[in-house]
């Protein structure tokens, strides 16, 4: 499980209501998840090295539910993190396979 810290923030009521609307419409399971996703996006936007390119992935609803379960179980900090881990593992496996094929 990933270590985490608790923080407290103050938000204007209209921003809190916007976050609650995201939860109510099913886009995020909790307000905390919505805030974590926003922070992940902010950090990626402002701190991602220039040599990394963003890729958009469209998934069937069932796969999204599986990814949400990984996050809920603490195996990933966000859905984006779960996807990055899966892609990283896939690339590692394919590179290893290519090296073995060259032998």
Regarding whether 63 and 33 lie in a shared domain, the answer is no
Mean pLDDT of 31-40: 92
Region of residue 87 (left: phi > 0; alpha: psi -120 to 50; beta: else): alpha
Q: Please indicate, yes or no, if residue 69 is contained in any of the structural domains.
A: yes
Give CA–CA dist 38/65, Å, rounded.
19
Read off the pLDDT band of 2 (50, 70, 90).
low
Regarding whether 37 and 69 lie in a shared domain, the answer is no
Going by the DSSP 8-state scheme, the letter that residue 3 receives in this structure is: -
Q: What is the pLDDT of residue 57?
A: 75
Regarding whether 64 and 102 lie in a shared domain, the answer is yes
Q: Please indicate, yes or no, if residue 5 is contained in any of the structural domains.
A: no
**Angle subtended at Cα 3 by Cα 81 and Cα 32, rounded to the nearest 5 degrees:** 65
17-30 per-position pLDDT tens digit: 999 999 999 989 99
Give CA–CA dist 85/79, Å, rounded.
10
51-86 per-position pLDDT tens digit: 777 777 788 888 888 888 888 898 888 888 888 888
- pTM comes to 0.48
Range of the domain at 47: 10-54
Regarding whether 92 and 63 lie in a shared domain, the answer is yes
5-16 per-position pLDDT tens digit: 889 999 999 999
């Amino acid at each position: 499980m990933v270590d985490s810290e608790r923080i407290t923030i103050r938000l204007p009521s209209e921003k809190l209501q916007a976050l609650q609307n995201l939860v109510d419409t099913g886009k995020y399971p909790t307000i905390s998840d919505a805030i974590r996703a926003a922070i992940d996006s902010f950090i990626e936007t402002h701190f991602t090295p220039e040599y990394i390119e963003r890729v958009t992935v469209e998934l069937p609803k069932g796969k999204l539910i599986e990814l949400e379960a990984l996050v809920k179980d603490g195996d990933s900090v966000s859905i984006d993190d779960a996807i990055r881990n899966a892609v990283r593992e896939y690339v590692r496996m394919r590179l290893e396979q290519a090296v073995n094929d060259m032998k």
